[in-house]
Structure 1
Amino acid sequence: MANPSRLRCAALTTTAVLLAALLAGCGDGAEDGDLTAQKLDWKDCPAPSEAEGGGSAPSPLPNGAAWQCATMRAPLDWGRPKGDTISIALIRARASGPENKRIGSLVFNFGGPGGSGVSTLPAFGSDYDVLRTRYDLVSFDPRGVGRSAPVKCKSDAQLDVYFQQDATPDNSAERAQLVNRTKQFNAACEQNSRKILPHVATTDAARDMDLLRQVLGDDKLHYFGISYGTELGGVYAHLFPKNVGRAVFDGVVDPTQNPEQSALGQTAGFQLALDNFAEDCTSKTTECPIGDTPEDVKNRIAKLLNDLEKKPISGDPPRRLTQTAATNGIAQSLYSKDFWEYLTEGLEAAYDGDGRILMLLSDSMNGRSENGEYSNITAANTAINCADEKPRYTADFVQQRLPEFRAASPLFGDYLAWGLISCTNWAVPGAADHPDVSAPGSAPILVVGNTGDPATPYSGARRMAEALGSGVAVELTYKGQGHGAYDSKDKCVQSKVNDYLLNGTVPKAGAVCS
Structure 2
Amino acid sequence: MRRAHTTVAATAGLTIALAACGLSTGSTGGPSPTGSAAAEKIAWGACTDLAVPEGAAPATPNAALQCGKLRVPLDYTKPGGETVDLAMIRIPATGPGERIGSLVFNFGGPGASGVDTMARAVKAFTTLNTRYDLVSFDPRGVERSRGVRCGDGKDMEAYVSLNSLPSNEQTREKTQAVTEQFTKLCEKDSGPVLPYVGTVNAARDMDKMRVALGDAKLNYFGMSYGTHLGAVYATLFPKNVGRMVLDAPLDPSVTFEQRTIAQTKGFQQAYESFLKDCVEQGCELGKSVEAADKKITNLMYQLVESPLKVGDRELTQGLAGTAVAAALYSRLSWPFLESALASALKGDGGALMYLADTYTGRRPDGTYSTEMSSFPAVTCVDTAERPSEQELVRTEEAALKISPLFGSVGAGSICRVWPVPGSDEAKKVDATGSGPILVVAGKGDPATPYQWGPKLTKQLKTATLLTYEGEGHGAYLSGSKCIAGAVNAYLLQGKMPEEGASCPS
Contact 2:200 2:425 in 1 (8 A): no
Match of 2:32 in 1: none
Which residue, out of 56, 73, 76, partners 1:75? 73
Contact 2:104 2:221 in 1 (8 A): yes
CA deviation after TM superposition for structure 1 residue 297, in Å: 1.7
DSSP 3-state at the match of 1:157: helix
Match of 1:298 in 2: 293
Match of 1:201 in 2: 198
Match of 2:496 in 1: 506
CA deviation after TM superposition for structure 1 residue 83, in Å: 1.4
Match of 1:474 in 2: 464
- In structure 2, the CA distance between the partners of 1:217 and 1:77, relative to structure 1 (3 Å rule), is same
CA deviation after TM superposition for structure 1 residue 6, in Å: 3.3
1:211 and 1:434 mapped to 2: Cα distance? 18
Q: Which moved more, 1:400-409 or 1:241-250?
A: 400-409
Match of 2:25 in 1: none
CA deviation after TM superposition for structure 1 residue 150, in Å: 1.1
Contact 1:96 1:132 in 2 (8 A): yes
Which residue, out of 35, 39, 42, partners 1:40? 42
CA deviation after TM superposition for structure 1 residue 405, in Å: 0.7
- In structure 2, the CA distance between the partners of 1:489 and 1:173, relative to structure 1 (3 Å rule), is closer
Which residue, out of 457, 467, 473, partners 1:465? 457
Contact 2:256 2:410 in 1 (8 A): no
Match of 1:20 in 2: none
Which residue, out of 126, 129, 133, partners 1:132? 129
1:302 and 1:248 mapped to 2: Cα distance? 39
1:213 aligns with 2:207: no
Match of 2:10 in 1: 6
Q: Which moved more, 1:76-85 or 1:244-253?
A: 76-85
2:362 and 2:78 mapped to 1: Cα distance? 36
1:53 and 1:437 mapped to 2: Cα distance? 38
1:450 aligns with 2:448: no
Contact 2:256 2:411 in 1 (8 A): no
Q: How does 1:294-443 map to 2 (within 5 A)?
A: 294-314=289-309, 316-413=310-407, 416-417=408-409, 419-432=411-424, 435-443=427-435
Match of 2:26 in 1: none
1:385 and 1:330 mapped to 2: Cα distance? 23
Q: Which amino acid aligns with 2:47?
A: C
CA deviation after TM superposition for structure 1 residue 354, in Å: 1.2
Contact 1:367 1:374 in 2 (8 A): yes
1:374 and 1:275 mapped to 2: Cα distance? 31
DSSP 3-state at the match of 1:175: helix
1:279 aligns with 2:286: no
Contact 2:260 2:395 in 1 (8 A): no
Contact 2:54 2:364 in 1 (8 A): no
- In structure 2, the CA distance between the partners of 1:172 and 1:404, relative to structure 1 (3 Å rule), is closer
CA deviation after TM superposition for structure 1 residue 4, in Å: 5.2
- In structure 2, the CA distance between the partners of 1:418 and 1:499, relative to structure 1 (3 Å rule), is closer
- In structure 2, the CA distance between the partners of 1:418 and 1:494, relative to structure 1 (3 Å rule), is closer
- In structure 2, the CA distance between the partners of 1:49 and 1:144, relative to structure 1 (3 Å rule), is farther
Contact 2:7 2:162 in 1 (8 A): no
- In structure 2, the CA distance between the partners of 1:87 and 1:55, relative to structure 1 (3 Å rule), is farther
1:90 aligns with 2:85: no
Identity of aligned pairs, percent?
42
Residue segments in structure 2 that go unaligned for 5+ positions in a row:
20-35
- In structure 2, the CA distance between the partners of 1:57 and 1:310, relative to structure 1 (3 Å rule), is closer
Q: How does 1:232-251 map to 2 (within 5 A)?
A: 232-251=229-248
Q: Which amino acid aligns with 1:80?
A: K
Residue segments in structure 1 that go unaligned for 5+ positions in a row:
16-33
1:146 and 1:508 mapped to 2: Cα distance? 39
CA deviation after TM superposition for structure 1 residue 8, in Å: 6.0
2:175 and 2:358 mapped to 1: Cα distance? 23
Contact 1:5 1:419 in 2 (8 A): yes
Match of 1:497 in 2: 487
DSSP 3-state at the match of 2:245: strand
How many corresponding residue pairs? 484
Contact 2:91 2:135 in 1 (8 A): yes
1:466 and 1:11 mapped to 2: Cα distance? 26
Match of 1:30 in 2: none
- In structure 2, the CA distance between the partners of 1:10 and 1:199, relative to structure 1 (3 Å rule), is farther
Match of 1:153 in 2: 150
- In structure 2, the CA distance between the partners of 1:138 and 1:217, relative to structure 1 (3 Å rule), is same
Which residue, out of 266, 281, 284, partners 1:289? 284
CA deviation after TM superposition for structure 1 residue 47, in Å: 2.1
1:116 and 1:53 mapped to 2: Cα distance? 16
1:491 and 1:246 mapped to 2: Cα distance? 20
TM-score of the superposed pair, with normalisation by structure 2: 0.91
Match of 1:175 in 2: 172
2:217 and 2:277 mapped to 1: Cα distance? 43
Q: Which amino acid aligns with 2:89?
A: I
2:239 and 2:425 mapped to 1: Cα distance? 26
Match of 1:226 in 2: 223
Contact 2:14 2:326 in 1 (8 A): no
2:77 and 2:354 mapped to 1: Cα distance? 42
DSSP 3-state at the match of 2:427: coil
Q: Which amino acid aligns with 2:450?
A: Y
TM-score of the superposed pair, with normalisation by structure 1: 0.90
- In structure 2, the CA distance between the partners of 1:340 and 1:326, relative to structure 1 (3 Å rule), is same
Q: Which amino acid aligns with 1:44?
A: A
- In structure 2, the CA distance between the partners of 1:73 and 1:418, relative to structure 1 (3 Å rule), is closer
Residues 486-512 of structure 1: per-residue CA shift (max 9 Å, x gap): 001211000000000000001111111
CA deviation after TM superposition for structure 1 residue 112, in Å: 0.4
Which residue, out of 187, 192, 205, partners 2:189? 192
DSSP 3-state at the match of 1:372: coil
